[in-house]
Amino acid sequence: MRDVNRDGGESAGQRQKEGKVDLYLFPDPGLLRPKFYKNWLLSRQMWIWRASQREIGVKPLSPSMWRDCLFYGLATGLSTIRYDSKEFDKIRKTALALGCDLDKSGQIVLPGRMPAADVVGDKGVMKWKGLEVRLKADGTMEDGLVKEMLWELFEMSFRVELQALDKELMKATDLDNILDRQDMVRNCFAGREGAEFVLYPPTIPEENVGMASDLLEDRRPYIIALARLMHDWPVRKPNGWQELAPFRKLSMAQVENLELLVTRLYCQTFYDVRRRAPLTPHKIKRV
């Protein structure tokens, strides 16, 4: 998918004045600062686990709540916020509104009263791809790890947002239809043919893959899969869309045009529903 402007048509400040709040199941990568990297790695496992728990009615968090989580380490098992501080009451109130809670040690507590630290595992041990992360001599992380970490956040966010948008627009209630839609979403991503494929967390690739592949020929199957998914959406399609449907036997010139139409339609539809710009796939490697 081509890069898009992330302004979303409205500034965050303007949306706040109008009572609109951006909500994210995973933090917007733009929020992450080097000082937050450690707390994200320490809490990442818990947030991924939380996102998979459909039965507890998981709610996305606001950017301010994500900043608090990352700044204070609220889901790391090593929170720095004090129970008797003014910030504690403020953050706990926000957490309750977003389906979480804070215990007296300043740790996020999930619905069902499960402390986040129970999901995190070893306190203070940062892990990436199953291995313990060791900082460089100056206390920073390896550039390659940071690049992979940010790529994963963009990719996970795009995947969960695409699935949620399709669910909201299609309003499928029949089990067979729900499963069919889930399969159509999965078809939009590299590796979906494998038996071990999961929507998130995605496998960290060595090269640019899926909709972020360098070559149009490699992006082709995922562009078409996304177009087929979106073709059923009850939204106005851009000019030229119907001429390409049902997206079979397309020339490369037609695929290139379809990619542009898919990008525009997805971004516009997402903005119309969520009133903010979507997070989109990124390249993991510079060309």
pLDDT of 16 above 80: no
Average pLDDT over residues 47-67: 82
**Which of the four pLDDT bands, split at 50, 70 and 90, describes residue 69?**
very high
Dist. CA 227–CA 221, nearest whole Å = 10
According to DSSP, the β-strands at 114-115 and 131-132 are: unpaired
> Given this model, what pLDDT does residue 184 score?
95
> Given this model, what pLDDT does residue 13 score?
39
pLDDT of 87 above 70: yes
> Given this model, what pLDDT does residue 71 score?
94
Q: What would the pLDDT profile of 111-170 be if each residue is shown by its tens digit?
A: 665 555 555 556 678 889 989 998 888 889 999 999 999 999 999 999 999 999 999 999
> Given this model, what pLDDT does residue 52 score?
81
pLDDT of 7 above 60: no
Q: Where is average pLDDT lowest: 39-43, 115-119, 245-249, 276-280?
A: 115-119
> Given this model, what pLDDT does residue 17 score?
43
pLDDT of 14 above 50: no
DSSP code per residue over 66-90: HHHHHHHTTTTT-----TTSHHHHH
pLDDT of 8 above 80: no
> Given this model, what pLDDT does residue 67 score?
94
Mean pLDDT of the chain: 86
Dist. CA 144–CA 146, nearest whole Å = 5
Q: For residue 115, which phi and psi values (nearest 5 degrees)? A: -65, 140
> Given this model, what pLDDT does residue 112 score?
62
Average pLDDT over residues 70-82: 89
* Percentage of the residues of the chain whose pLDDT score is greater than 90: 58
Q: What would the pLDDT profile of 182-238 be if each residue is shown by its tens digit?
A: 999 999 999 988 878 888 899 999 999 999 999 999 999 999 999 999 999 999 999
Q: What would the pLDDT profile of 94-113 be if each residue is shown by its tens digit?
A: 888 878 888 888 888 876 65
Dist. CA 123–CA 104, nearest whole Å = 17
Higher pLDDT among residues 11 and 230, named by residue: 230
The answer to whether the pTM exceeds 0.95 is no
**Which of the four pLDDT bands, split at 50, 70 and 90, describes residue 267?**
very high
53, 59, 107, 139, 192 from 164: Cα distances, Å = 14, 12, 28, 38, 18
Average pLDDT over residues 234-243: 95
Q: Decide if 26 contacts 151 (C-beta within 8 A).
A: no
- Would you call 262 helix, strand, or coil by DSSP? helix
Q: At what angle do helices 143-170 and 216-231 cross, to 10 degrees?
A: 30
Q: What would the pLDDT profile of 24-43 be if each residue is shown by its tens digit?
A: 999 999 999 999 999 999 99
Q: Decide if 200 contacts 156 (C-beta within 8 A).
A: yes
Residues in CB range of 218: below 8 A, 6 or more apart: 209
59 alpha-carbon distance from chain centroid: 13
Number of CB atoms found within 10 A of residue 52's CB: 11
